[in-house]
Amino acid sequence: MKCCVVTLGCQMNQSDSERIRSVIEGMGYEMTEVEEEASLIGVVACSVRQKAIDKVYSKIRKWNQWKNEKPLVTFVSGCILPADEVKFLKLFDLVFRMNELPDLPDMLRQCGVATEFSARHPLNDLRREDERVDFWQVNPTYSSDFEVFVPIQNGCDKFCSFCAVPYTRGREVSRASADILAEVEKLIARDVKSITLLGQNVNSY
C-alpha cells in the first residue's frame, strides 16, 4: 500500500505534513511522491493563497477521475477556510483538521481503508482512556536531516481584515514549553544544523 501527501503553502503546513506522514506510515503505508502509485492520496491545503487553493481543486478533479480506473481514497487537511471546507466535503472522501490528526486511523477505516496499524505506531504510546491526544504530541517524520521546523504556536487572535489565519487555524494556542524543548534537544542530538520555530503569531507565545 502506498500513500502520497501533497503539501501546499507555508512551513507550518510542511510541519503538519510530517506529522501526518508519521501516522500514515504507522498504518502500514509506504510513502511515495508519485501520485499515480498511491491508493491513499491527500493534500495539506492553503486557503490563504488563491494559487494554492486553485491547485487543490485541480488535483482533486484529476484524482476523482482516477477512481473510475482504480480504488483510491482521498483526504484534505491544513489551512482551510470554512467556505472551502464545505466544498471539499463534496469532493474528498475525508476532510479533517490538524487537531483531529490522532483520530485519522479511525476516520480512514470508516472510509474503507484497510490498515495494518503497527504495534510501533506513534499514537500507541500517547493514547490514554478518555484522554484527548494533542496532535503536537505526534512525533513527525522529518523531511530533512539538516533543516527542521518546530511549531511552538498555532492560530491568531488578531482578526485583521486582510488575513485569513484566524479562520483557517483558529484562535491562538501555545504549545507546552517542555514539549518544545524536548523536541529541540532530540534534534540537537541528531546534529540538525538549522531549527526554525514556527507559529502564525510567535510573538504571542
Q: Residue 119's pLDDT is what?
A: 44
Provide the residue ranges of all domains of the chain, joining segments of one domain with +: 2-110, 142-204
Q: What is the CA radius of gyration of the chain?
A: 17
Are 15 and 138 a contacting pair, CB within 8 Å? no
pLDDT of residue 134: 81
Q: Return averaged pLDDT per consecutive 10 residues of the chain, 205 residues in all.
A: 94 94 93 96 91 93 96 95 94 94 91 63 51 80 94 93 89 94 96 95 88
141 vs 20, 21, 37, 73, 165, CA distance in Å? Answer: 9, 6, 21, 22, 25
pTM for the structure as a whole: 0.88
Choices 3.90.1300.10, 3.20.20.10, 3.40.50.12160, 3.30.70.100: CATH for 2-110: 3.40.50.12160
**How do residues 94-146 score in pLDDT, each as one tens digit?**
999 998 999 999 999 988 876 665 444 555 555 544 455 688 889 999 999 99
DSSP 130: T
